[in-house]
Amino acid sequence: MSRLLPLLLACLALAACGADDEPAGAPAPEPDAFAEVQREARGQTVRWWMYGGDDRINDYVEEVVEPAARRAGVTLEQVRVSDTADAVRRVVAQRRAGRTSGGAVDLIWINGENFAAGKRAGLWLEDWATKLPSAKYVDFEDPTIGRDFQVPIDGQEAPWSRAAFVFAHDSARVPEPPRDFGALLAYAREHPGRFTYPAPPDFTGSAFVRQAVAELGEDEAFAYLAELKPLMYREGRSLPKTVAELDDLFANGEVDFTMSYESNFVAAQVRRKTFPRTARPFVVGEGALTNVSYTVIPADAAHTAGAKVVADLLMSPALQAAKADPAVLGIDTVLDVDRLPRRERARFAASRSSPYLLSDLGRVTEELPADEVPRLEKRWTREVLRGG
């Protein structure tokens, strides 16, 4: 039996909860508003282009999302790519070829930079995400939801997954990790060679730089990173190229910390027996750098109705609760839990009960604007990597 099947059955039971469980003040449901979209979606095959390098997310899609889509009459075809930009390039190529309908990409799991570029080019379907039935449980006034890397989503994206930049230490080796950037620098001075981070433009390494900028201010952050470099692993002469390399150094005891933009990564690595059971997550600074990833529908998608149905399922309380469960993914929900029916709120309240997941990420630290990221990475290369 599939290891996620019992969870899926529980999700189905959750989805069947009666409307009398709606919290006070929740928007009145409009059961017929989405009916025509659902009818049109039946029989469609939705090609969801998404990063395919995380086996646990792939399992979640195959064992939870695909069956839910089938029950809605939609066949979900996961198109796994190593870089979201591959999906955007396909949409761009179709646009250049003059295609305005029947495109090969129906739905994309997208990140901020690619969304911003596509929005500027007019690639995305407009004014649909806030009209999904599950949107009533989303606080679109929340700046971490309503803006993607500071770019207004304007109804062109449906939120799917929340991410937070989290560090890890081995509590058996380092009982009290440094919890701000000053303490991290002091730790590096006292323990030279025991800290490093991936070299930007690796996504995790770039996020570490942005976290420093968000906490310290840009000029001070780059002075700080330059001062930190010679104190790092191999005196900063050789940085990990990827977060996977950094995780290996941590797992092998060569460095004392690792990091990820997935708040559940310690739980995932302990479950894989890559990290020791004594590994624990922590935050550096006043709060974790936070962002939300979304699904977007290209304007030329062949199966727009089916893509809307899948996007709504991904945002639904049942599937969000499954994703938040530490036994599955342990990824924070994008829903405003206070807007949920009581039974579903209780399900989310239990989702953070793990020593490998942080119950408090501190003050929400918003991401920097998408167009600032390439400039910061270039500055890092010039002033930190090359030293001048």
Contact 215, 365 (CB under 8 A): yes
Number of Cβ atoms within 10 Å of the Cβ of 66: 17
pLDDT digits (tens, 9 = 90+) for 99-114: 889 999 999 999 888 9
Average of per-residue pLDDT values in the chain: 89
Grade residue 77 by pLDDT with cuts at 50, 70 and 90: very high
Q: What is the mean pLDDT of residues 346-358?
A: 76
Q: What is the pLDDT of residue 23?
A: 45
Q: Is the pTM of this model over 0.75?
A: yes
How do strand 75-81 and strand 157-164 relate by DSSP bridges? unpaired
Which among 120, 128, 132, 177 is positioned nearest to 157, based on CA atoms? 128
Q: What is the pLDDT of residue 345?
A: 85
Number of H helices, E strands in the chain: 16, 11
Domains and CATH numbers, the chain: 5-163+292-352 (3.40.190.10), 166-287+364-385 (3.40.190.10)
d(CA 241, CA 385): 13
- Neighbouring-strand partners of residue 298: 124
What end-to-end distance do the CA atoms of the chain give, in Å?
Answer: 58
Indicate if the pLDDT at residue 59 is higher than 50: yes
Q: How far is CA 129 from CA 99, 155, 223, 264, in A?
A: 23, 5, 42, 26
And the tokens for 188? 């590096």
Q: What is the pLDDT of residue 331?
A: 87
Indicate if the pLDDT at residue 377 is higher than 60: yes
Coil, strand or helix at 281 = strand
Q: What is the pLDDT of residue 24?
A: 39
